[in-house]
Structure 1
Amino acid sequence: MNYDFKNYKTENFFDEMITPEGDSRTGNQALKGTIENLAFENLKNKQKAAERSMVSAGITFNVYSEDGGTERIIPIDIVPRVIDSQEWDNLEKGLIQRITALNLFLQDVYNEQKIIRDGIVPREIIESSKGFLPECKGLTPPKGVWIHITGTDLIRDNNGVFTVLEDNLRCPSGVSYMLENRELSKQTFPDVLSQTNVRSISEYPAKLLEVLSYISGRPDPTVAVLTPGIYNSAYFEHSYLAQQMGVELVDYRDLVVVGDYLKMRTTKGFKTVDVLYRRIDDTFLDPKTFNPHSLIGIPGLFDVYRKGNIGLANAPGTGVADDKVVYAYVPRIIKYYLGEDAIIPNVETYLCGEPDSMKYVLENIEKLVVKEANEAGGYGMLIGPKASKEEHEKFRGLIQANPRNYIAQPTISLSRSPCLVEDGLEGRHVDLRPYILYGDGIHVTPGGLTRVALKKGSLVVNSSQGGGSKDTWVLK
């Protein structure tokens, strides 16, 4: 029996495929028609085949808990999300604008600090950020680029308007799942994929290598991916990207500082490393400069970097620009450096460090989403409407104890996209993480990772919190 979209309910949410009247949104006609022409059992079999492919490819994610780490397959949904060409072009412009301004901001706060002196961003906000590294003051990274790889999280509200939920400028993950989802789409919907004229994302590893090579300033640089090791939650991605770029995957045991250079141990002796794509948090990079207890860093690495003898992507210190409190200032940052209004708006944000805002948050916590300023992956977060009174009280106490460390935002009804469930298709809430590469220019990969809150009614899309993903088709 074929699936019939007549039973599909958009309810009161913006649906990525179906209008409230039951029609296809722009660009979704071919995909919707293909699904309707498939027997539902066939659709379920395609989902199972995709999951088997994930298992055989070893695409896993470690979920940390009090009981230890649990390795599991990333949940996927085979029904792609389609974004119209014109809509994407506007998003691309907005993302380029945002990354350009944030890069100028980072260069400024670690050097002249004009934006602080001009009163656009308060000094105490910058210097109290966990991501601000005083050790980076006076530094300019190779070619003046701080944020080589960015994953900016976008959401769409009930009116169909995209907004920026947060910026990820340190070690954004998920790009390997974006690439694998596309490979699964080629297996699952090969005809409709070609008919719909979807923009390619396959060049991402080559573009990433271009960026890494560019910041080295050398004609044939030695590039390596630095991983914390096999127990890291995103280890699959580290090894996948190293393999796709044809470069070495290394950890602290493979590297040593010799003189003013970073050397990699090989079977033929030491080899100088010109660029590290580091997937280690800033303060774990070098125990001599940052956290002395780090067992996964390379002693002396920061001195090599300071002398200009190695490129690090992303540059140390970028975390100050994706602090969730600094996020609230990004529209002002864009206006200050570029003289432009933000093309993609922020979500309305209350800073608990401001007395009036804190009072409002404490009084309305049951309506709001509260976030810790420097947490990621869905941790340190309260979704007020879905939390208990005990959880509300707990977060009130946390906010009052450390107001600077918390922000709050309205609970937004994220857009939904059709997902395969046991007996049909149902809407599940989604966000979008496009990946932006900054080297000789800025390249936005068309689409990105659509993350899905697979649990019915849930707004939490993070893989670490039980979310999944699906392919994102951007039309030419």
Structure 2
Amino acid sequence: MSAAAEAEVSGRAERLARWTSGYRPLSGVPDAFMDASGKPRAAWTRVLDHLGDLTEVDIAARFVSAVRHIRDTGISYRIYGDKRDHAWPLGSLPFMVEAADWQDLSAGIVERAELMEAILADIYGPNRLVAGGLLPAAVVAGSPEFMRPLAGITPPGGRFLKLYAADVTRGPDGCWQVLADRTQSPSGPGYALENRMVLTRAFPDLYTDLHVERLAPFFQALRQGLALGSQRSDPRICLLTSGPFSSTYVEQAVLARYLGLLLVEGDDLVMQDGALHVRTVSGLKRADALWRRIDSDYVDPLELNPSSRLGVPGLIEALRNGSLVVGNMPGSGILESGALAAYLPGIARQMMNTDLRLSGPRTWWCGDPDSLAHVRQNLDALTLRPVATPPKGMARDAIMAPLAFGADRERVVSALRDRPFDYVAQERAPLATTPGWDRTGGSLHLVPRPFALRVFAAMTPEGWRVMPGGFCRISERADLDPIEMRAGIKAADVWILSDGPVESVPTIQPATQKVRRIAGHLPSRAADNLFWFGRYVERAEAVIRLVVAHLGSVGAAVSADIVGDARSPTSLRIRALLDDWGAISAPDLPTATLAREALSQRDNFGSALCHSLSARANAAILRERLSGEAWRVLADLKDLLDIGDARAYSEAELVGLAERGLGLIAALAGLAQENMNRTAGWHFVDLGRRIERVINTCAFATQFAGDTATAEDLGVMLSLCDSHIAFGARYMQGAALDPVRDMVLLDPFNPRSVAFQIVAIERHLSDLPTLRVDGLPEPHQRLAARIGAEFATGEAAEFDGATLARLENEFERLADAIATRYFPNGPHALRPEKLVGLG
């Protein structure tokens, strides 16, 4: 062996020893790394052997790459009650499970899912459990998750649950134990998918060499399962979200994109003729299945919570007549009641004639007198948590340990005296731990950290199927339970290690798969956001171009004067326009201050940064429709413009920053042109850009191409329309008013001219769905044609200031007419539903 090889082997052994030598499981706490005998589990031995081939610098570099990917693609989450997005906190170590161990856990998950399905069918059906004394009636009827209007409804396909999840950890004996059942609308599968994508990018060799089970077959089966029970052979499946302010909206968008579902909000849906329909730019289209990601009582304000603005009036009617499949069925959240856990062992023995393979901590419901007496006698040895709705100021899954409350212990005792039925008590047991990286002392080593693992099972045409992976939450502190994602909690990808090579997911579909060339249907809300995404990007570009013009980096081809002189008439007009647009706080600011404000001032609603943030906000609502590259460019643009206290930037540096911003905006436009399919979504993005461009160009021409325009004004006008080179190639004698007006307003060959935009706008409007059966143009099409005719037949001299101001208003009217026709909030938003047939 060569000296280099010996040194590599020695370094590897030294790293492994340093990482693991100090690892000690906490006293009395089960551990995922070491078994009860203190030996490392096989799965962790395998992964550490492979990681040992990498230096700590290599590991850090790969994880930095993963963090950058998370930032570039906008993977984020929200803490309940917090309006800010937080970058997804993915840990650098996966959670490891051997295949044999996972098979045992999966069998228990399937058994538990079947039991939950049977309990739901009984609660909303014959109620034999209550009649037989196995379940107190108060546990059912007293639960806020019991949806009385659902009683007696049999779901299409006979299944209440489409997706079941359980939070598990290792119990005191080292075996898997269930902490909680998740049946309402289990979150996490999308984050599990993102975790996998990010970590396998960072450690592709490790992922392959360890034979990690693939997730793709599970998601393919999940999509098939969502459609079970649909009346049509080719059902339209929607994912119902509460919107971008949902704490898991990013995950929902990921799932919609990956599974090919329509991501919809309540306003996108409407009941008609006893069936659910989606409002699209083509009219109403039938929805066959709905993956519900909002709480049960919000799905129908007519029959459930009347204050809900998230659901669809009359949706329960579709469940009664069997025209809609919903997963999970409204009312399924009753199975998450802590009170049910107290009676689950007895119910399992009655229904399945056996004990559950996966048990949970022993539980007592304090609404039962005998159980309450036991809890009072052993209060300091138990933990309490709310059955359903927690006390004010307490998280939904909060654990109350009386000893931990100290002086507030009496408050806990009072709660048990006043409303004991609101609480359950459980045997106190710390969460199991799993290895996590720590740098205390300057060197990298492994330490035990508490974890909770969420495992998912989907109902498929072949029965229940467990995801070969999951969603693991790991606490960075021993005293912080990873009950939910919040500060101090990291996520981990879950790797199930096979004993042999894992079969690749087939990419070639069966020969029976039909060829399709269908554009799909665009929900009206999505069209609205795509349209405004284009407009905000174009507004940001217009502001940046004005800043560049003001700083004097343009116009040299026409005039040798520097436009940056704040006293020149041209500069004053630039300042007036920026002030009118809300990009600056005052028109008499020093030149550099004005440029900084217009580019990066968050308090100025018309600054380039605010427009880029607005575009990003619209893009956030459209995550399932935008590519990762677009997200990266948006992130780069935001970071470029968000320079905070920019007083240290010189004018030259601000020019460079602005020009880089224009380059990023050009990259966004290029991505839209080259990467977006020519479906309705692309039409609306480009429509928004072009309408905003003609409005801005008319405003520019009013200021800089009026009857009294100077050479300096005309130079700025050409620069704002990026037409200097084309103008110089065509006219050799310098700028003159009519030639400049013709170039920026009427030239159909100039891609920045108004005439060019109008041709594109008319083409977009003709390609979008029409609602008229008589072939006549709709109002917005007639308005566009009338404006287009004026530009097609007009002469440059005719476009004076008054005409340009009138045309600017005409284009604003056109934008409003498009909104009225296609978007959900216009005064005639219901009109298309009355004129188009059902799809």
Say yes or no: TM over 0.5. Answer: yes
1:103 is the counterpart of 2:124? no
Shift of 1:256: 0.9
Aligned-pair CA distance for 1:447: 2.4
1:197 is matched with 211
Specify whether residues 45 and 390 from structure 1 end up closer, same or farther in structure 2 by C-alpha distance, changes over 3 A only.
Answer: farther
Over the aligned positions, Cα root-mean-square deviation in angstroms equals 2.2
Structure number with bigger Rg: 2
Residue in structure 1 matched with residue 556 of structure 2 by the alignment = none
Aligned pairs (5 A) from 1:446-457: 446-457=468-479
Query: What SS does structure 1 have at the residue aligned with 2:78?
Result: strand
Corresponding position of 1:127: 141
Kindly state the Cα deviation for residue 146 of structure 1 after the two structures are TM-superposed.
Answer: 0.5
Q: Deviations over 1:236-291 (max 9, x none)?
A: 11111111111211112211111211111111111010111111111111110011
Q: Give the aligned residue type for 2:56.
A: F
1:236 matched to 2:263? The reply is: no
Cα distance in 2 for residues equivalent to 1:217 and 1:95: 29
1:258 aligns with 2:272: yes
Q: CA-to-partner distance for each residue in 1:342-370, whole Å, 9 max, x for gaps?
A: 11112111211123433443454444321
Q: CA deviation at 1:392?
A: 2.9
Whether 1:410 and 2:427 are equivalent positions in the alignment is yes
Measured after TM superposition, the shift of residue 203 of structure 1 is: 2.7
CA distance in 1, matches of 2:233, 2:57: 54
| Contact 2:381–2:427 (Cα < 8 Å) also in 1 | yes
Matched-pair contact (CA < 8 Å) for 2:452–2:482:
no
2: CA distance between counterparts of 1:100 and 1:228?
29
Give, as a single letter, the amino acid of the residue that structure 2 aligns with 1:438.
Answer: M
Equivalent runs, 1:60-79 vs 2, <5 Å: 60-65=76-81, 68-79=82-93
Structure 1 counterpart of 2:372: 358
State how far apart, in whole Å, the 2-side matches of 1:153 and 1:242 are. Answer: 24
Partner of 1:6: 21
1:426-471 deviations in whole A, cap 9, x for unaligned?
2111121111111331111112111111224323341046422111
8 A Cα contact 1:452 1:461, kept in partner: no
Match of 2:65 in 1: 49
Query: Which residues of 2 match residues 51-200 of structure 1 at below 5 A?
Result: 51-65=67-81, 68-200=82-214
Partner SS, residue 168 of structure 2: strand
Q: Describe the SS at the equivalent of 1:329.
A: helix
Q: Which residue of 2 aligns with 1:36?
A: 52
Which protein is richer in strand relative to its size? 1
Looking at structure 2, the residues matched to 465 and 142 of structure 1 have their Cα atoms a distance apart, in angstroms, of 41
Please state if 1:326 is matched with 2:348. no
Q: Secondary structure at the match of 2:276?
A: strand
Matched residues in 1 for 2:275 and 2:234: separation? 17
User: What does residue 419 of structure 1 align with?
Assistant: 436
1:386–1:80: structure 2 CA closer, same or farther, 3 Å change rule? farther
State the secondary structure of the residue aligned to 1:265: strand
1:275 has 2:289 as partner? yes
Q: TM-score, normalised on structure 2?
A: 0.54
Q: TM-score, normalised by structure 1?
A: 0.94
Partners of 2:218 and 2:465 within 8 A in 1: no
Following the alignment from structure 2 to structure 1, what is the Cα–Cα distance between the partners of residues 405 and 136? 35
Work out the CA distance in 2 between the residues paired with 1:38 and 1:366. 48
Instruction: Please say if 1:430 is aligned against 2:451.
Output: yes
The offset of 1:23, in angstroms, is 4.4
- Aligned-pair distance for 1:116? 1.6
Contact 1:454 1:468 survives alignment (8 Å) = yes
3-state SS in 2 of match to 1:64 = coil
Q: Which deviates further from its counterpart, 418-427 or 287-296? A: 418-427
2:485 pairs with one of 423, 443, 463: 463
Unaligned segments of structure 2, at least 5 residues: 1-10, 499-839
Stretch deviating more after TM superposition (98-107 or 204-213): 204-213
CA contact (8 A) 2:36 2:174 kept: no
Report the CA distance between 1:176 and its aligned residue. Answer: 1.4
Unmatched segments (≥5 aa) in structure 1: none
Q: Residues 22 and 127 from structure 1, CA distance in 2 versus in 1: closer, same or farther, beyond 3 angstroms?
A: closer
Greater mean alpha carbon deviation, residues 171-180 or residues 396-405: 396-405
Distance 1:139 1:127, change over 3 A: same
Separation (CA, whole Å) in 1 of partners of 2:419 and 2:468: 39
Q: 1:461 to 1:380 in 2, by over 3 A?
A: closer
| Structure-to-structure mapping, 1:366-405, within 5 angstroms | 366-374=380-388, 379=396, 381-384=398-401, 387-405=404-422
Assess if the C-alpha contact under 8 Å between 2:231 and 2:323 holds in 1.
no
Question: 3-state DSSP class of the match of 1:463?
Answer: coil
The answer to whether the 8 A contact 1:378-1:462 is kept is no
- Would you say how many aligned residue pairs link Structure 1 and Structure 2? 474
Q: Relative to total residues, which structure has the larger helix share, 1 or 2?
A: 2
Contact 2:36 2:173 in 1 (8 A): no
Of structures 1 and 2, the one scoring higher in RCO (CA 8 A, sep 6+) is 1
Residue identity over aligned pairs, in percent, reads: 27
- How far the C-alpha of 1:385 sits from its partner, in A, is 7.2
**Residue pair 2:382, 2:428 contacting (<8 A) in 1 also:** yes
Distance 2:356 2:363 in 1: 15
